[in-house]
Amino acid sequence: MGLTDNAENYLLRNSKAISDFYSKAYTETLDILNNFSKTKASRKRAAAVLLQIEGIVKELDDETKKFIEDKIPATYKDFGLATKKDIRKLGAKVDDSFALIHTRAVQAIADDSYLRFARSMQGVINSAEDFVSLKIQKELRETLASGLIKGEARDKISKEVQEQIEKQGVTAFIDKGGKRWQLNTYSRMLSRTVLQQAGNQGNENVLIENGFDVVKVSTHGTICPLCIPYEGKYLSLTGQTKGVTTIEEARRNGLFHPNCMHTFSATNPNDYGQAKRQPSPEPLTREQRKELNQILKDNEIQGDLRRNLRTEDKRKNFFKAQKEVKKKFN
């Protein structure tokens, strides 16, 4: 219903500008570090390089603030307005006021979003400092060992540092599993995620404000192990509808994870009985995950959805995998 049917396109469209800006900054930072790796290291050159990168981060900070000030409130409001239209279609009255709860919710999401982007920006500076330090330390060790860095030794050091830069990239964030997120991929994921959270929170608050408790999760043929149990299923926003899994429990089990495109829509109160009869969704078991991984492997499916849709053959494999997953788990 409403915007929830087009949530993925909405999130991609509204996160594109900031994602592109971060990708450009990522490329510029890599160029600066690669150029530094090819020259003789000195404190003066190191300071100049870090100053350049701090300038790039300052621009990122300015653009991030604009993105958050503009897109977070707009997304929250757009999802909320679409939900109000859905409620009217169900024949219910709608509270059209913008209560204090909404203002506070938007501010809380905006503050949290900025902190998450700020951590990635600090990660860029830390990553740059690490590479600059690596170059200086390698040259210092070579100097102590031989008394003078000759051309061949300097080329070797430059190559080692460049290989390290190529291998690690500019790290914006290291997650709990130890995965290094490069600035371009992390910013793309984060921008979509904060908008999804803003939209879903606006959706949820409007529904609760208007007396709705049971919602239905959107469906788009997911192949994600975290989302499969909940796609197209009913959830309770407050826990007041007994026998229906709460949205909070679904979140704890991984629904609406980073980069997730799922949302939810209002359910007619006349259908709450159907929701109660629905079997309680359960996370996939270890055996089910193995079966899912085998389906994805057989169809050569990789993690990023858009990567699987780039060619005709990839699209065929992806749609085939979708059908197999739906048949197996729904």
Q: Which residues, in sequence order, are CB contacts of 177 under 8 Å at separation 6+?
A: none
Structural domain that includes position 262: 214-329
C-beta pairs of 111-118 under 8 Å, 24+ apart in sequence:
112/194, 113/68, 113/72, 113/194, 113/197, 113/198, 114/64, 114/65, 114/68, 116/190, 116/194, 117/64, 117/68, 117/187, 117/190, 118/61, 118/64
Q: What is the pLDDT of residue 296?
A: 83
* Encoded tokens for 270: 């006349």
Average pLDDT in the chain: 85
> Which of the four pLDDT bands, split at 50, 70 and 90, describes residue 145?
very low
89 and 172 co-located in one domain = yes
Clarify whether residues 175 and 65 are in a common domain: yes
In a domain, 116, yes or no: yes
Largest CA distance in the chain: 84
Q: Is residue 197 part of a domain?
A: no
| pLDDT band for position 42 (cuts 50, 70, 90) | confident
Instruction: Please indicate, yes or no, whether residues 230 and 178 belong to a single structural domain of this protein.
Output: no
148 pLDDT above the threshold of 50: no
Number of independent structural domains in the chain: 2
Query: Do 40 and 173 lie in a common domain?
Result: yes
Per-residue tokens: 281: 């969704």
What's the pLDDT score for residue 113? 96
Q: Are residues 53 and 179 in the same domain?
A: yes
Residue 149 sits in the same domain as residue 12? yes
Q: Is residue 151 part of a domain?
A: yes
Distance CA 72, CA 103 (A): 11
Please check whether residues 18 and 167 belong to one and the same domain.
yes
Within-domain flag for 195: no
Helix (H, G, I), strand (E, B) or coil at 225: coil
What average pLDDT score do residues 155-177 get? 68
Domain end among 188, 203, 236: 188
Predicted local distance difference test score (pLDDT) of residue 167: 67
pLDDT score of 19 more than 90: yes
Q: Is residue 52 located within the same domain as residue 103?
A: yes
Do 41 and 167 lie in one domain? The reply is yes
Residue 161 sits in the same domain as residue 39: yes
Q: Are residues 184 and 218 in the same domain?
A: no
The torsion of the CA quartet 178, 183, 184, 186, rounded to 10 degrees, works out to: 50
CA 38 to chain centre: 34
pLDDT tens digit sequence for 191-223: 999 999 999 999 999 999 999 999 999 988 888
Residue linked to tokens 């879903």: 200
* Whole-number pLDDT of residue 299: 81
Residue 276 has pLDDT above 90, yes or no: no
- Report the percent of the chain where pLDDT is more than 90: 49
- Average pLDDT (292-311) is 71
Residues 220, 184 share a domain: no
Residues 6+ positions from 257 with CB-CB distance below 8 Å: 224, 226, 227
**Which residue would you say has higher pLDDT here, 18 or 145?**
18
171, 188, 205: which is the final residue of a domain?
188
Residue reference for tokens 């603030």: 65
* pTM score: 0.85
Q: Would 65 be classed as within a structural domain? A: yes
Average pLDDT rounded to a whole number, residues 3-16: 82
